[in-house]
Each structure stands twice: as C-alpha cells, then as structure tokens.
Amino acid sequence: MIRINDILEKASQYLSESHLALIQKAYVYSASVHSGQVRLSGEPYLSHPLEVCNTLVDMRLDADTIAAGLLHDAVEDSGVSVRELSQQFNNDVAAIVDGVTKIGKVTFNSKEEAQAENIRKMILAMAKDIRVILVKLADRLHNMSTLEHKSPIKQRLIAQETMDIYSPLAQRLGLYRLKVDLDDLSLKYLKPDVYNQIVHGIKEHRTLGKDYIDQVINIIQNIMDSNGIQGRVSGRQKHIFSIYDKMLKQNLDLEQVYDLIAFRVIVQSVKECYAMLGLIHSTWTPIPGRFKDYISMPKGNMYQSLHTTVVGPDGEHIEIQIRTEEMHKVAEYGVAAHWKYKDGATFKPKDEERFVWLRHILDWEQELKDPREFMASLKVDLFDDEVYVFTPKGEVLDLPSGATPVDFAYMIHTEVGSHCSGAKVNGKLVPLDTPLKNGDSVEIITNPHRNPSRDWLKFVKTAKARTRIKHWIRTQERERSISLAKEMLEKEGRRMGLNFQKALKQGKLEPVASEFSLKSVDDLLSTVGYAKITPKQVLHRLVPKEPAEPEQ
C-alpha cells in the first residue's frame, strides 16, 4: 500500500506547507472513517483513497482536489454528511466529494437508464467544476487496476462502461496517461485472449527492441546536438490497446503491425519542432500519408504535436512525435495542465472556448429524455473521432467524423441550419449529405424560404442538428394539428348550432382545457388534432347547461 508520506513528499514539489497540511488532515480523517473497512482484495479500504490521491498528485492538482480524493467515499460508505466535510475542511472539498457521490447514486428501471443518468450527472457536474470528474476518473483507474477481485460478469460490465464512457471522456479532457491505462485494463477483461496475445508478442519484440530503441535515440540525439537543438528523446513500446486498435481498424494480424515502437522528441520551441521534422525526414524516409500536424491544427482536447512515421534502421517502421515541453505537459495531463486554482476561483469549463463541445452537450441534453437517444447522441458528439473544417473566414470548427454540411450549418447557428439550401466544399457545390474531411473549407448557402427536411435526419451526425430538426418538425406538426382541430371544431359546431370561433374569441376554451388537465388552449386544440380528444367532447362542454326545473 502506498504511504501518505511518499505522496506528501511528491506534492511538496509544487504545493505550500498549508496545502500539505490540508492533505494530511484529509488523510487522518479518511483513515478514521474507513477504519476496519476492507476491500475485496483483502487490503485495508484506505488503500483505495490513497491510490486515488496519488494519481491526482501525479497530475499536479490543487490541494482541495487531492483532499477530496482522499475523502471521496466518506459520504457514501461511512455515513459522513457533506455539511460535516464542509465544516471540517472547506466548501470546495465538500462540493467535490458531493459531486462524486451523486454520480453513482441512481436507481432506474434499466441498466441503460441508470447509465444514461449517471453520464448526464457527470456532464452537469463537469460544467460546474471539472475537479469532480478528475476525482471520478482517478477513482475509476484504481478500481480497474483491482478488477480481478470482482466476478467475471462484473468485470465485463465495468470494463465495458470504462471503454464506452470513462476512457473517451479522459481523451476529451486530454488526459492521455489516464486514457491509455483505462484502455489497456478494459481490453484485458473484454478480450483476454487478444490482450494476452499482444502482451506475449510485445515481450518477444522487447527482447530485440531495447538495443534498437537505444540505437534510434542515439541517432536522434546526435542530430539534435550537431544542429544546436536542445531537448530530450525517449522511446517505448506502444501501448497494448493502441496496437489492438490498429489491428482492428486495418484488419491486420499482430505480425503485420510493424510500428510497435514510438519515439518522442521534446524541444524548446515550435520553430525547433519543424526543424527537427525536416532533419528526421532527411535522415530516414517518411511513409506517405502518415504525417499529421497537430501544432498548426490542435485537437479539440488541446493536444499539439507533430506526428510522422519513417522507415528507420533495419527497415523498421517507427513513429516519432515532436513537441515542446509545454505541449508535452498538455499531452500528458490535458485540462489539468491548463489551469490552476487561485484564491478559491472555480474553473468552469463551459465558459472556456476550448470546451465548446461541453457547451454543445449542455445545449441539447435537456431535450433528449430517452436514454437510448441520449447515449447515442453523446457517443457521437463526445467520443467519436473528429474532423477539422474551416469556415469562409478561416475559423476552425471540429465536428464528429462523418459530419455533413448540414451539421456544419447548425454548428454555425440554428437559423443557418434551418434555412440551409446548399453547400460549397472547397469552392464546389456538393450534396448536403456529403461527409466532410479534415481541412475542408465549407460555405453554406441559405434561402429564407427553405426549411428543414425530415430526410436530413437520415444523415446528420451531431445531436445539435438532430434535436433542432426534430424540434422544427414537432412545431410544424403541432401547428398543422391545431389548424386541423379548428376546422373539425367549426364543422362539428355548425352541426350542433354552436359558433366555435365566437367561443374561442370569448375565451370560453380556457376552462375546457383545464378540465382536460391541459395548460393552454393550443394544447387542447393540438390534442384534438392528434385525435386524442374528439370535437364533441370539447363542444359539449361549451353547451350552456339548462337549469334544473323546480320541484312541484
């Protein structure tokens, strides 16, 4: 079990004495409330919050987040109140623990509903304070690393949820280290045969690879030294899941995956990144189609690097990433590297331009009540691969893979999407269902007389486009049903000797709507138009009741 003193020593590299004292206090409190509790592994329960705390310190997070990591199970497992945590520590620590606790406390009719509601809660919590999600991800990482103590059924369920939700969320936040560990651990339980095959293959390759890695590092270091470029080089075997992902996407056997080794070159400036790229390409032959410039066009999660694959010594394919020190921090720790807490200020990602994807989700999450639809939309908007396209003004928009000009139009503005009549991609007219590619320049042609088409639902990818199109269709159908209801009520009214239009103008339908527990006359009329209430049922309530005859 990791020791609190080791964690505090690591944290002392960037936190003050008062902050370290808060973490120490949280540790003592956690040890007290979890005293006597044991995990399935047989270890003291305290081992879990300590591991979560250690991950948060590795990410160089603030003291409140680290303290919350130590206390994150105190409310759920030990009967401690949020108010008590607020009194013992501070409001921020208590709020983070409360947020983490609430994410898991859901009871629903189905696993799908429960999962959808859990994710909904995570998104809303993340919008308020991203530290809640960072603690939850660290919590999930340690739970995945001790998953062997669960039953096989639970192992698969937890691993699948991790692969579906937590790993992509870590990727969106730029938390590369967390993501690769979550991916590898998930694969271990979801596809154990494939996992073991890759592990065995890597071990065989590693016996040959150590000398090779050292050879390539020395060559790159000599290139840097002879050109006056300061920096460092490292090499490693690729992660298990990334190898599996390549095998899957390219339909390859393990023996056909050549670039099992990746190298990282870290230099001082952007200029030196491009200089090193040129020097590496003049040393080894680059493989066509394998160069990616994420410096000039960063990923949506803030990631920046140059990627290239070359034919290295002995004909081996090697992948090389080139970046600056600052880019490296962001590549490893994503959002955690981009902000620090000062004077109690709260980081709200929904206010940040680089978290525009979170604002999009918040825009539509309330409109999607069906759990299946919510999860399907979330997986597209949050977790799919992205394409980066340009507006006519040169601004970059990121969209999910497979997105079309209609998705692009709705991303610009709802009105642009609703009146989209055509599109130009790279100056040429294209059909509206054309999938956009990286680097495309997109121009939308609008027509005030054009409206959304139900056919668009067959090809749009983003939840924003889908919800706006459906909203327009529902509005149109409602208006048609109201118009139809008025015709039906007028016709039936004439037959009964009633003037429906007069009754409508005199406000006599409001009480009738209330009788049917409807909020407005329009609700009443649309219900008639949808044939849920008959015209006679409405009109009979407008007929004056005859006074009862006096008894003789």
Q: How far are the Cα atoms of 106, 243, 255, 256 from residue 252, in angstroms, in the given order?
A: 41, 10, 8, 6
Kindly report the three-state secondary structure assignment for every residue of 110-158. Answer: CHHHHHHHHHHHHHHHHHHCCHHHHHHHHHHHHHHHCHHHCCHHHHHHH
The DSSP secondary-structure symbol of 343 reads T
Instruction: State residue 466 phi and psi, 5-degree precision.
Output: -60, -45
Inter-residue contact 471 to 421 (CB < 8 Å): no
Q: How far are the Cα atoms of 183, 355, 359, 368, 421 from residue 464, in angstroms, in the given order?
A: 29, 16, 11, 11, 18
Tell me which of 43, 58, 77, 316 is the catalytic residue.
Answer: 77
Q: What residue has token string 């590092």? A: 217
Kindly report the three-state secondary structure assignment for every residue of 367-384. Answer: CCCCHHHHHHHHHHHHHC
- Pull the structure tokens for residue 521: 């006359």
For the question of residue 76 being annotated catalytic, the response is yes
Tell me which of 43, 76, 293, 352 is the catalytic residue.
Answer: 76
Indicate the burial class of 333 (C-beta count within 10 angstroms; 0-12, 13-18, 19 or more).
Answer: buried
Q: Whose CA is closest to 337, among 321, 362, 354?
A: 354
Q: How far are the Cα atoms of 77, 84, 166 from residue 72, in angstroms, in the given order?
A: 9, 13, 17
- Rounded Cα gap, residues 163 and 185, in angstroms: 9
Beta bridge pairs of residue 386: 400
- Pull the structure tokens for residue 102: 């609430």
Q: How far are the Cα atoms of 181, 213, 268, 302 from residue 320, in angstroms, in the given order?
A: 21, 12, 17, 19
Coil/strand/helix, residue 173? coil
Kindly report the three-state secondary structure assignment for every residue of 250-289. Answer: HCCCHHHCCCCEEEEEEECCHHHHHHHHHHHHHHCEECCC
Inter-residue contact 76 to 33 (CB < 8 Å): no
For the question of residue 319 being annotated catalytic, the response is no
Coil/strand/helix, residue 241? helix
Q: Whose CA is closest to 57, among 104, 92, 22?
A: 22
- Rounded Cα gap, residues 438 and 224, in angstroms: 32
Q: Whose CA is closest to 76, among 53, 92, 107, 99?
A: 99
Beta bridge pairs of residue 235: 263
Instruction: State residue 170 phi and psi, 5-degree precision.
Output: -60, -40
Determine how β-strand 261-267 pairs with β-strand 428-430.
Answer: unpaired
Any idea which residues carry the catalytic annotation?
A: 76-77
